[in-house]
Amino acid sequence: MVSHEGLGLLSRLFDGQEQRTASVLPAEMAVFEHFAGEQLGAEAEDMLIPFAYEETLCRDIGAGAVPPSLHLWSHPGGVALGLRDSKLPLAAAAMAELEGAGIRTAVRHSGGAAVPLDAGIVNVSLILPKAPGKLDFHDDFRLLASLIAEAAAVSHPQAAARIRAGEIAGSYCPGDFDLAIGGRKFCGIAQRRQSSAYFVHAFVVVSGSGQERGELIRGFYETASGGDESLVYPRVRPETIAALGELGGPDAAAVFAAGIRQAAASRGVQLTSAAQLRQETGYDLQYSDHRVLEAAEILRERYAR
């Protein structure tokens, strides 16, 4: 169930038109966390490892080996491209330019276009088993959008009350479920499906400069396109991007992550930490797991330009 306060946020988020069709969270969920700066091993530097981890976890959830899950993570610094981005004529040169500046690059398998990843960006994934019948991913987009708004409201209710959903023209990776305050985007949402499970993923710009990140992505497109205005790619205007901290919201990854956990608990979800799950069931999926490393290589081969 959504709390009374949560229903109010949801109504404002979608201007009172969409909340009736939002999905609900499972009653029990496992929580896996991997944040930049923690002792995660050398594998964590690889841009594809978090995505490969979720691919592996998604398969396990589909097989019933682990409960529906929440994955919270960040990467020390990189740019994740969409598949269409990687097909731009000078994409390889643009990626090499970023790598030369110490910014990792990879092509991701979920929908969307290029986004930056760094310690100030919290990635939030809901990984869920597929129920029988038709899957409407818009319902789950609304679910994750509302959860993010409720997470911001835990520490900064006034800022959260101003969050609106809707595409922000000029932002990187624009979409119908962009989340913004005052017309400046801080979050985008994408999804990925497998045969028995799926995940809905959001990147949330929490701290740092949104404009600087926008300039980074705009620079990538300027190089990758070779200046060809006839090509289809996002025309990024950096001023349309902001961090939650710049918009009056939480300005630390740890604060926002705590808000996500509290928002889920407020909906009546029983959360089980990875450590507790390992103790109770023996399930212990790590970034260094051979299945995760193999999945990363498959993604690299499949989505490499």
The angle that helices 49-62 and 290-303 make with each other, rounded to 10 degrees, is 110
Q: Which amino acid is at 292?
A: V
pLDDT bin (cut points 50, 70, 90) of residue 137 is confident
**pLDDT tens-digit series, residues 2-44:** 454 555 565 678 765 544 555 789 999 999 999 998 878 888 8
What is the pLDDT at residue 193? 87
CB 124 within 8 A of CB 148: yes
Cβ neighbours for 16, distance < 8 A, ≥ 6 positions apart:
none
- Strand-pair category, 121-129 with 69-73: antiparallel
DSSP conformational letter for 241? B
Structural domain total, the chain? 1
Q: What is the residue range of 218's domain?
A: 4-303
What is the greatest pairwise CA distance in the chain?
56
pLDDT of residue 6: 52
Cα–Cα separations (whole angstroms), residue 116 to 1, 28, 41, 122: 33, 31, 21, 11
What pLDDT sits at residue 159?
Answer: 96
Long-range CB contact pairs, 15-24, < 8 A, 24+ = 15/164, 18/142, 19/142, 19/146, 21/136, 21/138, 21/139, 21/142, 22/139, 22/142, 22/143, 22/146, 23/139, 23/140, 23/142, 23/143, 24/143, 24/267
Backbone angles phi, psi at 5, to 5 degrees: -65, -40
Better pLDDT: 48 or 304 = 48
Say what the pLDDT of residue 18 is. Answer: 47
Q: Which of 145, 148, 125 is nearest to 22 (CA)?
A: 145
Show the tokens assigned to 220: 């990538």
* pLDDT tens digit sequence for 177-206: 999 999 999 999 998 888 899 999 999 999
In angstroms, rounded to a whole number, what is the distance separating the alpha carbons of residues 147 and 135? 19
pLDDT value of position 125: 97
> pLDDT tens-digit profile of 227-279?
999 999 999 999 999 999 999 999 999 999 999 999 999 999 999 999 999 99
Tell me the CA distances in angstroms from 89 to 92, 141, 217, one per residue in order. Answer: 8, 32, 16
Check pLDDT > 50 for residue 167: yes
Mean pLDDT, the chain, integer = 91
User: Is 82:188 a contact under the CB 8 Å cutoff?
Assistant: no
CATH number at residue 29: 3.30.930.10
Tokens of 75: 């990467």
In the sheet that holds 77-81, the strands lie side by side as 104-107, 77-81, 115-118
Strand ranges of the sheet holding 270-273, from the earlier edge strand across to the other edge:
163-165, 179-181, 184-193, 197-205, 121-129, 69-73, 28-34, 270-273
Distance, in Å, from the CA atom of 277 to the CA atom of 159, rounded to the nearest integer, reads: 34
Active-site amino acid positions: 173
User: What is the rounded average pLDDT of the residues 139-162?
Assistant: 95
